Amino acid sequence: MRLPPGDVFVFVVSRTDRLKVPLAVLATIILATTLAPVIAPYDPMAITGEPYQPPTREHLFGTDTLGRDVLSRTLFGGQQSLSIVLIGVAIIILPGTVLGMSAGFYGQWTDRLLMASMDILLAFPNLLLALVIITLLGSGGWQIAIAVGIAGLPAYARIARTATATTRNALYIDAARAIGVRSDRLLSHHLLPNVLPLLLSFAAVSLSWTMLNSAALAFLGFGGDPSVPNWGVMLAEARYAFRVAPWMSIPPGLAITATVMAVNRLADASQERFRNRT
């Protein structure tokens, strides 16, 4: 049996009530972020009133330390925060799939070498590895994306390897090999579609780690220019202002939590479907 990629998507998305809520939440967050220039009431960098204002009609979520509008900064903050997450996840998924699948498929020394290096990276606690990379690269959005990407890579590559290694000996792979399908085509056309659902659900798990870790690095002060809105940076500012303006931490914290929770739910549901199918 061989699923074309289109079917995999349908298989994950269709007829799943449990997926509707998290998908709707994610769509709302992404839409609100991309449409920030249109729907945000103020310029996120501009000082629009007194600092530390409680929520009012003019400022629905109040104002921050400098008197900037918290709602506008949260909407715009998604642009940097989510871009970092997307770049980080791309750094995890693209090399992770290639490395993990080749290790699992070819076995022998390719497998040993690749997995030994992944094991070494896995022995560093995740956030610590990211901090080492930040030490080398310095602060900034790109730097955070690269750091969380590399830190998340080994766990993903390991999953991709295991999934491929267990599918490699399936009967349909033997059959394809017997009729003379070449290795690279075997990998891309026969193995990949079958491990894809599992890879997708672990990619979602990686995405939730990437969100939490990248916001943590921004929170710790490695985000570069602090005037550019970012959820992690906003939480750091709110932490220092919690006595005077406790409401400051609610919008960015809620945005991070909603994103991570929706993605986790998505991973759960697709994993369950995958388990039911096999």
Mask 11-50, x = binds another protein (CB under 8 A)?
A: ----------------------------------------
**Under the criterion CB under 8 A, does residue 219 sit at the interface with another protein?**
yes
Closest separation between CB of residue 266 and another protein, Å? 12
Among 1, 6, 108, 136, binds another protein (CB under 8 A): 136
* Rounded-to-integer distance, Cα 247 and Cα 241, Å: 9
Among 4, 5, 37, 246, binds another protein (CB under 8 A): 246
**Under the criterion CB under 8 A, does residue 126 sit at the interface with another protein?**
yes
* Rounded-to-integer distance, Cα 140 and Cα 119, Å: 28
Q: Assess contact for 121 and 129: CB atoms under 8 A.
A: yes
Closest separation between CB of residue 135 and another protein, Å? 5
Q: What is the DSSP letter of 221?
A: T
List the structure tokens of 103.
């290790």
**Under the criterion CB under 8 A, does residue 256 sit at the interface with another protein?**
yes
Pick the closer one to another protein by CB: 150 or 173. 150
Pick the closer one to another protein by CB: 23 or 220. 220
* Rounded-to-integer distance, Cα 9 and Cα 67, Å: 45
**Under the criterion CB under 8 A, does residue 212 sit at the interface with another protein?**
yes
* Rounded-to-integer distance, Cα 28 and Cα 9, Å: 20
Give 250: exposed, middle or buried? Use CB within 10 Å, 0-12, 13-18, 19+.
middle
For another protein, the binding residues (CB under 8 A) are 116-117, 119-121, 123-128, 131-132, 134-136, 208, 212, 215-216, 219-222, 232, 235-236, 238-239, 242-243, 246, 249, 253, 256-257, 260-261, 264-265
